[in-house]
């Protein structure tokens, strides 16, 4: 069986599992006569969402801005700071404890302060997404950059390779798989952070719509907004996955091969 056939079968299984879940949900709502304001049937959710798709799409376009900007900022600054910490003992001793402290601070509690400092515009939402997405990037990048075996590092130094050349030719390619693992975690957190930021201060976006629908007990549309938010998160995750396939195809191929061996 070829690789394309295996991928098609895997995707078909995922689609079948999802459709089976929706069917079981639909049947359960009908059998137990669940009130719509508690748990609507998927058919009602999709019907209401189709009728008001334009408002959902407009809200999604608004939500995706802080989600993407905060994620990109977390990736850029997270990798840069991890580089500084990985190659400097002084930075590691001083900066890393501070990063851990910042991670422990509850981000939702800080969100109102962002509103006081930066108003109700885009900036506080981007900052909240950045804060929630930043730490996984730093941790994965730091682990990746410091994972080079001591023997390999000594071999590079003895061969006369400069620090930059050793990093570019050996350390960075070796670090990419771990880096992308952190990027995926950050991508998953970015969608949640964006909608939470809109809970705190926004009159637009999917977070605002969720609050409005919940206040009106419009549960079908609440689920429709949740599905839309999930689609945004999956899209960002999929883009990171695509970037990984392009940047480290050898790692993706090896992971598939290991999965095929495990499935035998």
Q: Distance of alpha carbon 205 from its chain centroid, rounded?
A: 18
Say which CATH class 51-262 falls into: mainly alpha
Q: What is the mean pLDDT of residues 160-182?
A: 76
The residue ranges of every structural domain in the chain are 51-262
Q: What confidence category does residue 164 fall into, taking pLDDT thresholds of 50, 70 and 90?
A: low
| CB contact at 8 A, 47 and 215 | no
Q: What is the mean pLDDT of residues 195-222?
A: 89
User: Cα(205)–Cα(64) distance, rounded to whole angstroms?
Assistant: 9
Position 183 scores a pLDDT of 93
Position 113 scores a pLDDT of 84
Q: What confidence category does residue 118 fall into, taking pLDDT thresholds of 50, 70 and 90?
A: confident
Q: Pick the more confident residue, 167 or 114.
A: 114
Query: Does residue 235 register a pLDDT over 90?
Result: yes
């Amino acid at each position: 069986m070829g690789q394309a056939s295996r991928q098609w079968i895997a995707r078909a299984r995922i689609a079948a599992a999802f459709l089976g879940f929706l069917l079981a949900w639909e049947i359960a709502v009908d059998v137990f006569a669940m009130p719509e304001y508690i748990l609507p049937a998927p058919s009602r959710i999709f019907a209401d969402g189709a009728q008001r798709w334009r408002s959902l799409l407009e809200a999604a376009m608004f939500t995706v801005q802080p989600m993407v900007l905060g994620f990109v900022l977390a990736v850029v600054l997270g990798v840069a700071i991890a580089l500084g910490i990985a190659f400097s003992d002084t930075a590691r001793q001083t900066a890393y404890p501070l990063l851990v402290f910042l991670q422990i601070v509850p981000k939702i509690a800080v969100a109102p302060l962002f509103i006081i400092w930066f108003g109700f515009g885009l900036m506080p939402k981007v900052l909240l997404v950045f804060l929630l997405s930043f730490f996984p990037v730093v941790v994965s990048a730091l682990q990746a950059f410091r994972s080079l075996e001591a023997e390999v590092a000594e071999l590079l130094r003895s061969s006369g390779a400069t620090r930059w050349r050793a990093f570019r030719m050996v350390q960075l390619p070796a670090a990419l798989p771990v880096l992308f693992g952190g990027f995926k975690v950050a991508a998953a957190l970015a969608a949640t952070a964006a909608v939470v930021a809109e809970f705190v201060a926004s009159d637009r976006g999917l977070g605002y719509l969720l609050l409005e629908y919940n206040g009106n007990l419009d549960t079908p549309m609440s689920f429709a907004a949740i599905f839309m938010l999930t689609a945004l998160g999956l899209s960002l995750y999929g883009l990171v996955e695509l970037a990984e396939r392009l940047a480290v195809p050898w790692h993706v191929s090896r992971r598939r091969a290991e999965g095929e061996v495990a499935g035998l």
